[in-house]
């Protein structure tokens, strides 16, 4: 029934939300796509992001110690694709994509205008986990569109079409809403 | 446009896949629901799981050093709800839910019969990240239903309805499939 998976084992844990990660150090700004992101603690609020050490984003995040995680809707699939496949080392990806960035409240890194919500994060600790560095970061600020998000109920899934990444060029978004029928 | 979010900031990073985590130490077996899970390295293959130290699963994982991450479809929403809201300390959740477990190949912890796929993991390192322990683990084995999963293309999203958790009682699954229109 089940078959052994030898390569691409990480794809078993997809589809998952794909975020735009904005980083800035000095006068350099970059944006990348990432879905290897998770909350890790509620109190204090912390998140983790697995970051390839070869990326320009890694260099900027190491330099400044800050980044923003931007939640985007299905309309941003082209922006996410370019952000995830072009290196920002030699090209100004923000201009290439035509993204507009807005200043964040407390973190010295902008967020994406038109995002559904974002988290501003400050690097707390990092851990070498193999071909990536696991960056654990404090949530310094968090913003969301109040017409789409409730702090206790999360995203209004009938309206907020959060973008998810399957594999390669395949993306998806949320579908029908499900409720458990039994008492917990 | 965007409003500050002070509480429930982690919900900004939902909906996300919700997995059944099976743990076993000695003759005690438990199952819990978790969505704070992410791949963190492709080579070597590693994943991370944020685990509340108060949970019975945490105790079993600490004891044995192994766990399985089971990907489930939308039909498992009731099982996931119970697994996520009842403590296995005093009740045998596996029986309560009516789950059937099957022996795994290499890891000494079973996986869920009827899952879409699973990863068998061995704890590599842990990090105290606040109210949870971040468990980074080696992928020891990975299995998936070949009629639903391709190692290079991931899940066939038109068929595999991976279960995602929004917040509280709200779950969802994947919806329409999206492709970027521009070249990367």
The answer to whether residue A101 neighbours chain B at the CB level (below 8 Å) is no
- Report pLDDT digits (tens) over B100-120: 999 999 999 999 999 999 999
pLDDT above 80: residue A15:
yes
What is the Cα–Cα distance from A154 to A148, expressed in whole angstroms? Answer: 8
Please report, rounded to a whole number, the percentage of residues in chain B having pLDDT higher than 90: 95
What is the Cα–Cα distance from A12 to B149, expressed in whole angstroms? Answer: 8
Spell out which residues of chain A touch residue B18, defining contact as CB-CB under 8 Å.
Answer: none
Residue A121 C-beta-side C-alpha neighbours within 13 Å:
30
- Report pLDDT digits (tens) over A92-145: 999 999 999 999 999 999 999 999 999 999 999 999 999 999 999 999 999 999
Residue B69 to chain A, least CA–CA distance (Å): 9
What is the maximal distance between C-alpha atoms in chain B? Answer: 55
Band of pLDDT at residue B183, cut at 50, 70 and 90: low
3-state helix, strand, coil in chain B (%, to 5): 15, 45, 40
Q: Write down the domain spans for chain A.
A: 14-172
Residue A44 to chain B, least CA–CA distance (Å): 6
The answer to whether residue A66 neighbours chain B at the CB level (below 8 Å) is no
Q: Looking at domain A14-172, what is its CATH homologous superfamily?
A: Electron Transport, Fmn-binding Protein; Chain A (2.30.110.10)
CATH of B13-172, one of 2.30.110.10, 3.40.50.2000, 3.90.420.10, 3.90.110.10: 2.30.110.10
- Report pLDDT digits (tens) over B50-93: 999 999 999 999 999 999 999 999 999 999 999 999 988 888 99
Q: Please choose, from the candidates B166, B3, B38, B131, the residue with its C-alpha nearest in 3D space to the C-alpha of residue A118.
A: B3
pLDDT above 80: residue A21:
yes
Bridge partners for B3 per DSSP: A144
Band of pLDDT at residue B182, cut at 50, 70 and 90: low
């Amino acid at each position: 029934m089940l078959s052994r998976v030898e390569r691409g084992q990480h794809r078993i844990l997809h589809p998952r939300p794909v975020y735009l990660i904005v980083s800035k150090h000095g006068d350099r700004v970059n944006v990348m796509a990432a879905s290897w992101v998770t909350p890790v603690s509620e109190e204090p609020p912390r998140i983790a992001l697995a970051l390839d050490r070869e990326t320009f984003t890694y260099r900027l995040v190491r330099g400044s110690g800050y980044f923003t995680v931007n939640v985007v809707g299905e309309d941003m699939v082209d922006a996410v694709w370019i952000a995830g496949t072009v290196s920002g080392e030699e090209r100004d990806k923000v201009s290439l994509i035509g993204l507009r960035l807005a200043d964040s409240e407390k973190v010295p890194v902008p967020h994406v205008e038109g995002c559904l919500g974002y988290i501003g994060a400050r690097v707390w600790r990092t851990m070498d986990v193999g071909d990536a560095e696991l960056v654990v970061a404090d949530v310094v600020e968090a913003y969301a569109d109040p017409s789409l998000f409730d702090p206790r109920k999360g995203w209004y899934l009938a309206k907020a079409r959060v973008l998810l990444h399957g594999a390669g060029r395949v993306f998806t978004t949320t579908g029908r809403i499900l409720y458990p029928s039994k008492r917990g």
